[in-house]
Amino acid sequence: MKHKRQEGFILIIVILLLAVISLEMYVLSQASNTLFFESKMAYSTAARRNLAASGLAWVKHNLANQTTPQKGKTVELDISDMSVRNAKLQVTILDTPGTETQARITTSFTSGEKTFTRTETYQVITEE
């Protein structure tokens, strides 16, 4: 009779351990989902900043070499070497009165099922 009681006790311990393990798995899966979301957001921010920086570098290079395209004309740059999936980079040098040159940079890329598009206007400071 004592033998049967020990088997029941061990069964209860095993069931409790399974419950504890399942609770741990739930907590760890929530933490991994949070990390996955944060890493996707960090990738998106880095991709957008890299695209914008490339556009500004292109504008500065062309201004320094006096090979500026027509002001107001939009140029789509080839960014296939940047390893950003389905990305587009469009640069427009704005015709603004005064000494400061402005550039409108439109970045667009796909991450997962979402497409991120952003247009910003930057003041281009040329080094003389």
Structure tokens at 41: 């957001």
Q: What is the pLDDT of residues 3-40, one digit of tens each?
A: 556 668 888 999 999 999 999 999 999 999 999 999 98
Nearest alpha-carbon partner for 101 in 67, 66, 59: 59
Contacts for 44 with CB less than 8 Å, ≥ 6 apart: 109, 111, 116
Which pLDDT belongs to residue 68?
61
The alpha-helical segments, DSSP class H, found in 65-101 are: none
Which pLDDT belongs to residue 6?
67
Which pLDDT belongs to residue 2?
55
3-state secondary structure of 9: helix
- Stretches where the chain sits below pLDDT 50 are 1
Question: How many structural domains does the chain have?
Answer: 1
Which pLDDT belongs to residue 3?
58
* Domain region containing 117: 2-124
CB 102 within 8 A of CB 123: yes
List 116's β-bridge partners, or say none. 109
